[in-house]
Structure formats: structure tokens, C-alpha cells
Chain A
Amino acid sequence: SQQGEEDPQALSIQEGENATMNCSYKTSINNLQWYRQNSGRGLVHLILIRSNEREKHSGRLRVTLDTSKKSSSLLITASRAADTASYFCAVSGGSYIPTFGRGTSLIVHP
């Protein structure tokens, strides 16, 4: 099964700034999901984007998908200290079971 790879591995910003994380993958996918994980806690589902979709929004989150470049991005606008967490992309290919990338660790300084 394939795996998404997030970039950067770590991101440190000030409150109010935007945070952008990227996810790249190698083969064709059916859908891609973004999750958030606070330290030592479970994963919280943020957004699912299907392979025939290009952009989705949820509150301060915007996810894009470029299947020609095999990449996705997660934008968090007007970040808050509470957004501090690890963010994972999970790609689903033929088996439809999501496989997680190594994650981006985001720190938002108040």
C-alpha cells in the first residue's frame, strides 16, 4: 500500500499567520484525508477529498488536490495556538484503506 509524505516535517508560525502543509504520493488514489492529532491523543478527521475533486473548504481549512502532480495541500488560515498539533494526510488507493504519512508537526506561537 502506498503512503503519503507530508512536507515540511515541522512548521513554526505566529498566531494569526497562515499555515500550509503539503502531501505527496506516488500512485493513483481514490481519496485523500487530512487528520489532526494533538500530542498523545487520538486522530481527529478534518477533511476528505475525492480524486475527482480539486478543492474543499471547512471553516478555516482549505484542502486542494492536484492529481496530475500527485499532491495535496492543507491551508489553515488565521492560525490559533489551539491549532498546535501534528497533521497527517492519509491516502486511499486500490484497497480503499487509508495509509498515513509521517505527518507535519505544527507549532503556533501565541
Chain B
Amino acid sequence: DTEVTQTPKHLVMGMTNKKSLKCEQHMGHRAMYWYKQKAKKPPELMFVYSYEKLSINESVPSRFSPECPNSSLLNLHLHALQPEDSALYLCASSQALPAGGSGNTIYFGEGSWLTVV
């Protein structure tokens, strides 16, 4: 089962709301990722978790707050977002962080479409 599940599929939120995006995988993967993708643009890395610890934060504004409660779950907490934050948010996982040049296939979920009004 190579599946990463994201909920909700669509989310509309006001600029003063607090909401969360959720991601789940049951492949035993120990690395999990959040990417942001604007229309007709490539996915941009936001955060990487390795063994439930934040490994990479690509200078993402603090209004985005990631959380990894356990090895299967990854959340992205949203607060005080701006309309320009509207995008497709993609969660992904891999067996581990790539090491030694071997690489690890990254599996993506279907994404959560976020609209900030």
C-alpha cells in the first residue's frame, strides 16, 4: 500500500481562522514532507520531518506551524493566513531521508486545496 492520505481535500478559511491540514501514511516511512504548490508552478518544499523531528524548515512564515505527533501523522496548523497563501498543499513521505546517494522514492498525497478569503 503506497498511499499518503490528506484531509481535507478542500479548505476555505478566513484570515483570522485557525485550521489544520492532516496527513497520514501507513508505509512505515520515517521521513515526511510538506510542499506548497501554486497554480502552474512547481512544488516548493516547506518542511521535512525525520524520525518525528523537524529536520528542515525552508524559512516558512510562522503562520504555518508543522507538527508530527507520531511516525504516521503529519499536521500543518494554519493561523492568520493571507490570501496569497492560497495554494495546493502536498504532503509526502519516504522511507527515510535519502542517504549515501541511494535516494529514496518520495510518495505524495493528493493534496489539500486551500483558499484564504
Give the one of B4, B90, B98, B111 with max A CB within 10 A.
B98
Q: Which B residues are in CB contact (< 8 Å) with A95?
A: 56
> Size class of A's contact patch?
20 to 34
B103 x A33 contact (CB < 8 A): yes
Known contacts A40-B113, A102-B42; decide if A96 and B97 are in contact (CB<8 Å). yes
Q: Give the residues from 23 to 52 in chain A that come closer than 8 angstroms, CB to CB, to chain B.
A: 30-31, 33, 35, 40-45, 48, 50-51
B90-117 CB contact bits vs A (8 Å, 1 = yes)? 1010000111011101111111010000
* B88 at the A interface (CB under 8 A): yes
B90 x A43 contact (CB < 8 A): yes
User: Closest CB-CB distance, B97 to chain A, in whole Å?
Assistant: 6
Looking at the complex, which one of A44, A88, A92 makes contact with B103 (CB distance below 8 Å)? A92
Chain A interface residues (CB < 8 Å from chain B): 1, 3, 30-31, 33, 35, 40-45, 48, 50-51, 88, 92, 95-103
